[in-house]
Amino acid sequence: MESWILPLITLIPLLGAIVLLFIPRDREDGIKLAAIVISLIPLVLSIFLLVDYYTRYIPAGGGMQYQVTLYTIPSLNASYAMGADGLSVPLVFLTTLLTTLGLYYSRHTIKKRVKEFFFLFLLLEMGMLGVFVSLDYVLFYIFWEIGLVPMYFLIGIWGQPKDRPRYAAIKFFIYTLVGSVAMLLAILGIYFETGTFNILDAAAAQPWAGNLTVASLAFWAFMLAFMIKVPAFPFHTWLPDAHTAAPTAGSVILAGVLLKLGAYGIIRIVLPTFPTAFNHWALVIVGMGVIGIVYGAFICISQTDLKRLIAYSSVSHMGYVMLGLGAAAFGISRVQDQNVANSMAMAINGATLQMFNHGLITGGLFFLVGVIYERAHTRDMGQFGGLSAKLPYFYGIMMLVAFASLGLPGLAGFWAEFFTFRGAFDLVTVWAAIGVIGIVATAGYILYRIIQSVFLGEYDSTKVAHWTDMNNGEESHEPTDMARFEKVVMWPLVILIVLLGVFPNLLLNFFNQFATEFVRIVG
């Protein structure tokens, strides 16, 4: 079990996707159910992983566990090596959870080309999971690319025609591919320098440790790939287009997991492998993060399309991740000081918490956009108003998730911001202070745009004439509140958002151990 679990988790979605190919195209519900059931297996396995790691390895000091090398290509010295630590285990869980929820949601909302959709979705899951558990650069790269292709189709085929899905899909694809090419070059460089494709070994070997110029080149090659994926300012413009066009479940996965691949890459590869170069360029990264936070938040204030707004809010929120990681890198040169080391650990904790929580919260928000879009067939916030009275259930859930996004204490988002800023204020004080402007602006767009214009005010029946009743798919003149399947999708997220807001330790016990260990090794 031990060494099999990670290959199993990554392979099952692929096997499932292949199984789907054998189900006749017209048995749509069969395909949907099969996909959901198959996705439950990695979910259950990842919950097992979560509990097992928490109870068994965390008391013992954490570290990279479940390591396995299935196969090595002798000519390349590349191997099918996997492993998971306190950073990857929660992210694996996030991926499997959002995938299952996305599939379940899509069961009720995807009507065309069902077989392709569910096939691609499982393929996508495999790619994402693979990235989080790969310990080999070649494997990492392959999974990275696998994640790209299905998303391209999800956006291009199932996007709404009015949202220019083809344009958005190709923009997403090419943009990410540009980064991938840079990363591939850097990976090859590392191989020629260290002679290994193993991510941990390469980090331990510290390639080009004495040569800042070359190290910086490799650093920026990786960073380009990862910052496009995150996306960090100014590489973010593919995101609003991709999100706006993508079907609901696609947006959820895109925001919930795909963006985290970039941040994960920075933490897993760039931070440990190029600490000196990262330290040298840290303020640039911090600056990009802070600009992203403030810039993204201000753009949100003037958005009228609800989905586009939430896409831009991701730019802002992922800025916190960049800020935290940049701040931690900036501390590397003074890591001998225990206070600096702890601040670095807190900055990394904040960034990793933000990754996980942003997945829950923004994933939830995109589902909620889907709820309103499937009913009203528009996302223009000017068309809504007074829904608080009409859809109280939807309003309650949206309030909770939106306020979590705003960083309200007691909900998950707060601790991420808190620790990011705690670390950043110690390490890069002035930048952190500028970033705080983002907190105020976030409150501005969440309330002013989402809550005020959609939910408060007076309901005007002349604006949206036809509402779809999601319980039976019939047209009606009045909006109907959330259907059961929508509630089922939202409740796990809501529970986690509250739980992690009240007990941040549930996650921090994973991340803090990872961060502390990282800081210790760098020192």
Footprint (CB under 8 A) of other proteins, residues 213-232: none
* 80 closest CA partner among 90, 71, 91, 93: 71
Out of 40, 217, 283, 408, point to the residue binding other proteins (CB under 8 A).
Answer: 408
d(CA 84, CA 199): 12
To the nearest whole angstrom, how small is the minimum distance from the Cβ of residue 131 to other proteins?
14
- Tell me the number of residues near other proteins by CB under 8 A: 95
Q: How far is the CB of 56 from other proteins (least distance, A)?
A: 18
CA dihedral over 232, 237, 238, 240, signed as positive or negative: positive
Looking at residues 270 to 289 of the shown chain, list those that interact with other proteins (rule: CB under 8 A): none
DSSP state of 331: T
List all residues 6 or more positions away from 302 whose beta carbon is below 8 Å from its beta carbon. Answer: none
Nearest to other proteins of 200, 294 (CB atom): 294
The position carrying tokens 């490799």 is: 218
Binding to other proteins (CB under 8 A): which residues in 60-99?
69-71, 73, 80
157 forms part of the interface with other proteins (CB under 8 A):
yes
The one-letter code for the residue type at 279 is: N
Preceding amide of 74 cis, omega within 30: no
Yes or no: say if 267 and 348 are a contact pair by the CB < 8 Å rule: yes
**Segment 286-345, which members bind other proteins (CB under 8 A)?**
295, 298-303, 338-339, 341-345
Lay out the site mask for other proteins across 175-204 (x = CB under 8 A, - = otherwise): x-x---------------------------
Q: Is 77 exposed, middle or buried (0-12, 13-18, 19+ CB in 10 A)?
A: middle
Shortest distance (Å) from residue 104 CB to other proteins: 22
Residue among 152 and 281 whose Cβ is closer to other proteins: 152
Which are the contacts of 265, defined by CB distance < 8 A and separation ≥ 6?
131, 222, 225, 226, 229
Least Å distance, CB 356 to other proteins, is: 15
Length of the chain: 523
Provide, rounded to whole angstroms, the least separation between the CB of residue 214 and other proteins.
25
Residue 166 binds other proteins (CB under 8 A): yes
Q: How far is the CB of 285 from other proteins (least distance, A)?
A: 18
What 3-state class would DSSP assign to 97? helix
Minimum gap (Å) between residue 150 Cβ and other proteins: 8
Alpha-carbon distance of 416 to 11, in angstroms, equals 32
Binders of other proteins in range 450-509 (CB under 8 A): 452, 455-462, 477-478, 503-505, 508-509
Q: How far is the CB of 73 from other proteins (least distance, A)?
A: 8
CA distances from 79 to 69, 187, 198, 199, 491 (A): 7, 14, 8, 11, 40
Rounded CA separation 450/385 (Å):
10
- Can you tell me which of 93, 320, 394, 403 binds other proteins, judged by CB under 8 A? 403
- Smaller CB distance to other proteins: residue 215 or 411? 411
Q: Which is nearer to other proteins, 212 or 499 (CB)?
A: 499
146 belongs to the binding site for other proteins (CB under 8 A): yes
Residue keyed to tokens 């495999």: 126
Note whether 121 binds other proteins by CB under 8 A. Answer: no
Does residue 145 bind other proteins (CB under 8 A)? yes
List 467's β-bridge partners, or say none.
476
Query: Is the Cβ of residue 60 or residue 213 nearer to other proteins in the bound state?
Result: 60
Under rule CB under 8 A, residue 432 binds other proteins: yes
Residues 6+ apart with CB under 8 A from 69: 79, 80, 81, 82
Task: Tell me whether residue 180 or residue 362 sits nearer to other proteins (CB atom).
Answer: 180
Supply 175's token pair: 């943009």
C-alpha radius of gyration, the chain, whole number: 22
- The residue among 207 and 364 lying less far from other proteins, judged by its C-beta, is 364
